């Protein structure tokens, strides 16, 4: 099913990078129901060649969050299912087939921040600002924000953002952990793409472990975490690709770690 508000391009010499672009700039890439479902469908059906994805937005803003024009009278049950629809879509972003890098600029607000926080890496340019205006709209986060955002910045900062309408600029956003990278204006996409190319060269099993095992281990009590880590480490190192990569280093054929 096509949706003119989102575009998928498969790039790279080996079709290894998926670029997902929100193309609704007139509405600041606000996410209506169809767009949320389209995001889920894209991650459900990425070509097998894809090893990493970049998500970006057309126009001056990454994403203005939930399309407020669709916020009609819902009873409790309908509201529950609407939120669960967002959860299902963003779950496919976080726990989908490949690491996802969000290239951020302009407004990253409400559901836009929930989408960004489901990604594995956030690259923000200087124009980026972050807010959770749900508080002032009389609603609550419903796209997984209360689970994911405190993991990035802590409960206290998220509470402040929602209670007071506090807006973080790009510099402070990177400082508190909303983004891992801060780049000059208009450079978020190129940096995100460069990172995607780097990630695409990793052993797929290592990327899988980072996406699927690491966040679960981090939630486990230490004793269970150590055990899960050992299982994942054993599986990863038994892969032929791991053995080949280690041998390449021992033979002097692989890059050393360089001081930054
Ligand atoms: C929208 C939306 C939207 C813009 N839903 N239509 N999100 C918010 O509360 C953020 C609301 N948006 C804004 O604060 C501003 O639009 C921005 C700071 C993002 C951008 O400002 P600006 O001056 O560039 O654009 P604008 O003039 O405000 O908006 C341009 C058009 O986009 C305008 O429509 P038009 O027909 O009058 O041209 C706006 O109505 C429209 N627009 N944002 C619908 N969000 C899973 S639960 C998640 C809960 C939430 O995300 S709540 C937070 C919602």
Q: How confident is the model at residue 74 (pLDDT cuts 50, 70, 90)?
A: confident
Q: What is the number of the ligand 1 atom nearest to the C-alpha of 111?
A: 51
Residues 105 and 37 reside in one and the same domain: yes
Q: Is the pLDDT of residue 14 over 80?
A: yes
The residues assigned a catalytic role are 114, 134
Closest alpha carbon to 200 in 35, 16, 10, 12? 16
pTM of full prediction above 0.85: yes
Q: How far apart are CA 89 and CA 75, in angstroms?
A: 22
Ligand 1 atom 5: residue of nearest CA: 67
The token duo for 34 is 């169809």
Residues 31 and 157 reside in one and the same domain: yes
Q: How confident is the model at residue 196, as a pLDDT?
A: 98
Domain of 177, CATH number, reads 3.90.226.10
Residues 81 and 93 reside in one and the same domain: yes
Residues 78 and 196 reside in one and the same domain: yes
Residues 152 and 23 reside in one and the same domain: yes
Domain of 216, CATH number, reads 1.10.12.10
CB-defined site of ligand 1, < 6 Å: 27-28, 30, 60-61, 64-69, 86, 107, 109-111, 133-134, 137, 139, 141-143
Q: What is the number of the ligand 1 atom nearest to the C-alpha of 110?
A: 51
Evaluate whether residue 257 is within a structural domain.
no
Evaluate whether residue 36 is within a structural domain.
yes
Residues 23 and 115 reside in one and the same domain: yes
User: What's the total number of domains in the chain?
Assistant: 2
Residues 235 and 162 reside in one and the same domain: no
- Mean pLDDT over 251-258 rounds to 92
Evaluate whether residue 63 is within a structural domain.
yes
- Mean pLDDT over 195-204 rounds to 96
Residue-wise DSSP of 114-126: HHHHHSSEEEEET
Residues 138 and 58 reside in one and the same domain: yes
Residues 29 and 38: beta-carbon distance below 8 Å: no
The token duo for 111 is 């559901």
Q: How far apart are CA 173 and CA 168, in angstroms?
A: 6
Which domain, by its residues, includes 181?
Answer: 6-200
Q: Is the pLDDT of residue 246 over 70?
A: yes
Evaluate whether residue 256 is within a structural domain.
no
pLDDT digits (tens, 9 = 90+) for 50-61: 999 999 999 999
pLDDT digits (tens, 9 = 90+) for 155-199: 999 999 999 999 999 999 999 999 999 999 999 999 999 999 999
Residues 122 and 211 reside in one and the same domain: no
Domain stops at, among 200, 217, 240: 200
Work out the widest C-alpha separation in the chain, in whole angstroms: 66
What percent of the chain is helix, strand and coil (3-state, nearest 5)? 50, 15, 35
Residues 188 and 235 reside in one and the same domain: no
Ligand 1 atom 43: residue of nearest CA: 64
Domain stops at, among 182, 200, 218: 200
Ligand 1 atom 41: residue of nearest CA: 27
Residues 51 and 179 reside in one and the same domain: yes
Q: Is the pLDDT of residue 1 over 80?
A: no
Residues 168 and 235 reside in one and the same domain: no
- Bridge-partner residues for 102, per DSSP? 55, 122
Q: How far apart are CA 97 and CA 143, in angstroms?
A: 20
The token duo for 22 is 């929100």
Number of alpha carbons in the 13 Å side-chain half-sphere of residue 137: 17
């Amino acid at each position: 099913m096509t949706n003119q508000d989102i575009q998928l391009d498969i790039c790279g010499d080996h079709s290894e990078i998926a670029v997902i672009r929100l193309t609704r700039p007139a509405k600041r890439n606000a996410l209506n129901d169809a767009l949320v479902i389209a995001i889920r469908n894209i991650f459900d059906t990425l070509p097998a060649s894809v090893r990493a994805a970049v998500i970006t937005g057309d126009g001056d803003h990454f994403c203005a969050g939930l399309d407020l024009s669709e916020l009609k009278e819902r009873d409790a049950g309908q509201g529950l299912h609407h939120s669960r629809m967002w959860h299902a879509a963003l779950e496919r972003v976080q726990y989908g087939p490949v690491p996802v890098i969000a290239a951020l600029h302009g407004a990253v607000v409400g559901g836009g921040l929930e989408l960004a926080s489901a990604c594995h890496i956030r690259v923000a340019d200087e124009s980026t600002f972050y807010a959770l205006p749900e508080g002032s709209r009389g609603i609550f986060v419903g796209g997984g924000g209360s689970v994911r955002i405190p993991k990035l910045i802590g409960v206290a900062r998220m509470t402040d953002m929602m209670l007071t309408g506090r807006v973080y600029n790009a510099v402070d956003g990177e400082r508190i952990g909303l983004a891992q990278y801060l780049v000059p204006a208009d450079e978020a996409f190129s940096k995100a793409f460069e990172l995607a190319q780097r990630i695409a060269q990793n052993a797929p099993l290592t990327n899988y472990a980072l996406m699927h095992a690491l966040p679960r281990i981090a939630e486990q009590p230490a004793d269970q975490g150590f055990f899960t880590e050992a299982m994942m480490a054993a599986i990863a190192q038994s892969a032929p690709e791991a053995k080949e990569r280690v041998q390449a280093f021992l033979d002097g054929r692989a890059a050393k770690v360089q001081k930054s």
